Amino acid sequence: MLLTIDIGNTNVTLGAYDGSVLSFTARLSTDSLKTDDQYAVEIKNLLSLYNLSTEDIEDAIISSVVPQVGKSISNAVSKLCHIVPLMLGPGVKTGLNIKIDNPAQLGADLVAGAVGALESYTMPCVIIDMGTASTISVLDKNGAFLGGIIAAGVRLTLKALAENTAQLTSIPIEAPKSVIGANTVECMQSGLVYGAASMLDGLLCKIEKELGETPTVVATGGLSKEIITHCSKNIIYNENLLLDGLHAIYEKNN
């Protein structure tokens, strides 16, 4: 089996592929203070939870936007499974034509998401990933990566509100019953959820205008499902887009 691991600023997402079939997905908290051994214990426990052993893992591929955690998890997988994971980065074949000013600056998570979209969707395509940051990536009709947009994530916005205002506290991120909130919590929820949805709709309109054609739009990331429900644009939700992209990249290199 192939172990795919996407390391974000908040969560580590793992998936195991038996051939082309995704057998399970799981999440860990991203913590740069954890040692190799701590991550090894957590990964081993996750495999056991899904009735797998370390011997079942034949290879692994990792994408990471947190270099220190990427190194720790790579070492952990090596200890557990006696393999050297493929780390997504310069020199790895992706099949992605990157047209930004400095292709080396493109984050591994954005590369994985773009490759996942190339494998599954009609071009041109826009990929929305709502995690710690909300990112939008744009692929043209030929599948080339043109660039994108980075905005503060919904949880990051909520954290800023709670930490920098005396009377606003942390709340559940969910849509209130109406856009016009009747109390402080509903007002904050409206700003977070409907505000993020409106931002996506507005940016997608501008992207479509610049492209000159209507793109396929696909969303992934922890909060996307809650937000895109309230968008007026047609957006496909794919929870495992980045893992699928990592699987495809692994296949291109083997």
Residues acting as catalytic residues? 109
**Measured CA distances, 61 to 163, 189, 193, 253 (Å):** 37, 37, 33, 10
Residues 22 and 240 sit within 8 Å (Cβ to Cβ)? yes
**Sheet with 59-64: strands ordered across:** 21-29, 11-18, 2-7, 59-64, 86-87
Element spanning 149, H or E: strand 145-152
DSSP string over 90-105: TT------B-SS-GGG
Partners of residue 151 on adjacent β-strands: 134
**Which structure tokens are listed for 130?**
């709502």
43 residue type, one letter = I
Element spanning 138, H or E: strand 133-139
ω before 124 within 30° of 0 (cis)? yes
Closest by Cα among 219, 225, 240, 251 to 6: 240
